[in-house]
Amino acid sequence: MDYREAFRILRRQVGGIDAIDAHTHLNAAHLAARGLHDVLLYHMVISDLYAAGCPSGARLSEDPDDDEVTTRIEEAIPLLEHIQNTSCSWLMRTILADLYEWKESITLGNWRDLDARIRRRRTDPDWPREILRRAHVLRLCTELPLRGDGRHDDILFYSLEWAFFTRNQWGVFDAPLYELEHSWQFDKPVRPLPVTMSRRAPVRRRVATVADVKEALAHYCRVIPWDQIVSTAHHVSTDMHYSLVSDEQMQKALDRRDSAGPTERDVYASYLFEHLLRELEKEHADVPFQFSLAAEPLPFETCSRLRQGTIRDLAEIIARHPKMQFQCHLASRQAHQSLCTLCRELPNFSLVGYWWHNFFPGTIAQVLDERLDMLPTNRQIGFFSDAYCLDWSYAKSILVRTETAKALACRVERGQYTMEGAAEIARRLLRNTPEHLLRLSR
């Protein structure tokens, strides 16, 4: 069968698979877009706009007031013509056309009409599930603290995204310790600290000794409601060199905290990482350890960057904890083939979707090509949206399904797959494997 015919058939078949969205930041209190700002000012579109010259590059507040919404939308609108070529802009227009029947250009004169249309649609209590029906998304994972009262537990499941002990902060060398101190003061998980911090909130207890570190880590593990989560979510910074650190080395680095530099930071992160994994492996090895990789901080967001040394460090860490299941969200196109080789030789390691700087059609196409040829279907999860509202899960699902159908059609044309085999592979990537690796059938 030639490519065009295979793609036509597979696009329909892949589009109808009830998929699992394996990672989002959906808030159960407002699943669908609250207004135009949730669509137009999704953080990936903000990056497009900032690159085009928009004066604001920061994300919106969690619950922006009318003044913030108006100011940010009206400063963005004049820049929309400059980003109409980007895939993020295309996905935004797809949302507006498919879900809100809006195909006009957005202008300073009409944006309030569009905003009112989105707000009216949101008042329909059935609207979120209608978006899911149109998206053919069966269930979605989000952060546990965003669960609310549990009324959406039939469509949402939860990951613990709390303290990031191995995430770097721009120009800050004791960030791992502050993350630990911040988590130590709560008796249940809370939302994580932002990817970039301009200031630190005070904490109740300061980590000064190895004993403090062990007590705080034990507290962190103890207060996690393990029966409510399918995974833990972390970030592994490429700026840090990971090694095995003794108690004595850690204490010496703690004593130098007020003058800490990169060496001390690496000691803090390495010690916390290894001791956390030891604790989890003892009691909770069945809970996958998800981590994001290769998005490093800039003043507002991040850039894609990954050292080859980090890949070596990860290989050693994953091999050292064979009972744990590690799952990686990767934001580096050029490092993807290296990560695939790790998956081939480390059976407790798998790759999940296309994260942040990899969520563009060309990159998804390359990643799919490599994964389909290099990895078993039960070591790769085919989709997660990283969405903050269901509207963006809808749009990103369309993109992933289209690229998946293209990659499969190429292989049908060259005789690598049958049509029936290609459809089954898509089903495994989009539904069966995430259900298995995330233990959704328990």
Burial class (CB within 10 angstroms; exposed 0-12, middle 13-18, buried 19+) of 385: buried
* pLDDT for the residue numbered 246: 98
pLDDT-derived band of residue 299, with 50, 70 and 90 as boundaries? confident
Q: In CATH, what number does 132-437 get? A: 3.20.20.140
CB 303 within 8 A of CB 295: yes
Q: What is the mean pLDDT of residues 132-145?
A: 98
CB 357 within 8 A of CB 314: no
- DSSP assignment of 36-52 equals HHHHHT-HHHHHHHHHH
The percentage of residues in the chain with a pLDDT greater than 90, rounded to a whole number, is 95
Q: What is the mean pLDDT of residues 318-334?
A: 97
Indicate the pairing of strand 231-236 with strand 380-381: unpaired
Half-sphere exposure at residue 316, Cβ-oriented, CA atoms within 13 angstroms: 11
* Sheet architecture: strand order including 349-352: 19-21, 137-143, 156-161, 231-236, 289-293, 326-330, 349-352, 380-381
* pLDDT for the residue numbered 169: 87
Q: Which residues contact 258 (CB under 8 A, 6 or more apart)?
A: none
Render pLDDT for 43-56 as a digit per residue (tens, 0 to 9).
999 999 999 999 99
* pLDDT for the residue numbered 186: 97
3-state helix, strand, coil in the chain (%, to 5): 50, 10, 40
Position 442 pLDDT exceeds 70? no
* pLDDT for the residue numbered 195: 77
* pLDDT for the residue numbered 199: 81
Determine the Cα–Cα distance for residues 123 and 107; give it in Å rounded to an integer.
Answer: 24
Q: What is the mean pLDDT of residues 233-261?
A: 97
Domain spans in the chain, listed from the N-terminal domain onward: 33-124, 132-437
Render pLDDT for 184-221 as a digit per residue (tens, 0 to 9).
999 999 999 987 777 888 999 999 999 999 999 999 99
Burial class (CB within 10 angstroms; exposed 0-12, middle 13-18, buried 19+) of 11: middle
Higher pLDDT residue, 414 or 195? 414
Locus of tokens 């993020």 = 88
Determine the Cα–Cα distance for residues 76 and 52; give it in Å rounded to an integer.
Answer: 10
Strand partners, 330: 293
* pLDDT for the residue numbered 171: 83
* pLDDT for the residue numbered 111: 98
Render pLDDT for 343-398 as a digit per residue (tens, 0 to 9).
999 999 999 999 999 999 999 999 999 999 999 999 999 999 999 999 999 999 99
Q: Identify which of 357, 356, 373, 359 has the alpha carbon closest to the alpha carbon of residue 410.
A: 373
* pLDDT for the residue numbered 170: 81
* pLDDT for the residue numbered 272: 98
* pLDDT for the residue numbered 148: 95
Render pLDDT for 85-125 as a digit per residue (tens, 0 to 9).
999 999 999 999 999 999 999 999 999 999 999 999 999 99
Phi, psi angles (nearest 5°) of residue 381: -100, 130
Mean pLDDT of the chain: 96
* pLDDT for the residue numbered 236: 98
pLDDT-derived band of residue 432, with 50, 70 and 90 as boundaries? very high
